[in-house]
Structure 1
Amino acid sequence: MKKINVYVEKAEDGTYWGSTQNIPGGVSAFGNSLDELKQNLKVAFEDYIEVAEDLNEEWLDEIKGLTEFEYRLDIASFFKLLPIKISAIAEKSGINPSLMRQYASGKANASEERAKRIEKAIHELGEDLLSVSI
């Protein structure tokens, strides 16, 4: 099933903002935490569907069954969002820690290939963490 892509950013004031990327029109929401953003986005999406039904929008059938959201972040937003040690991701992805700090701060932009390496390292780290029991 197709997922609704949501681009997430963390503002300087700590607010999380999310907006859909792959549906007609768009849905946006914000929250003081990522969980609050997700809850608010779900409510905003339900309102979006309700208005589309009222207006008898042609595209409604394409998105009506969609219920799963996939949250996407740029590298700098990811590191603002989660307190993960930048050097651990740099080591796992084979990227110089200094360069990784520049990506994390937003001072440099990673190429698509490099961003995929970072994403792969983050997913591997997540799998490693999921395999641990305490």
Structure 2
Amino acid sequence: MLDPVIDPDGAPFWRYAAAGELRVQACADCGEPRFPPRPCCPHCQSFAAEWRPVSGHGRIWSYVVPHPPLLPDYAEQAPYNVIVVELADAPRVRLVGNLVAAPGARLDSVPPERLRIGAKVQVVFTEEGLPQWVLERP
């Protein structure tokens, strides 16, 4: 597994994920959620921020099945999917991850033909705290 690159703005995201909680940064002044995390709100230019819990429910907004694999470290799991999830309770926020059959499952655990735009998904976390996604109705 590749380790995420953790910068000061995104460190709280990974801290919460390691605890099995999905949170997104939001402006403490105008309330708009934002991802990726950044110091300034793109809507009102405020530097006030907070981390809000989200339900972890969403839908597949887009996906790709790379051929050949994008990351050599994952070649043995190819073909694998990379999905973009639009969060149900923060639709402007879209997170990138993998659709898997169960928490911590291999990246190839869901056949590519099962991927559908609009499919409802739920966040799960690996033992290392990496967010992944499972279908709400497998």
TM-score normalised to the size of structure 1?
Answer: 0.29
TM-score normalised to the size of structure 2?
Answer: 0.29
Larger Rg: 1
More strand by proportion, 1 or 2? Answer: 2
More helix by proportion, 1 or 2? Answer: 1
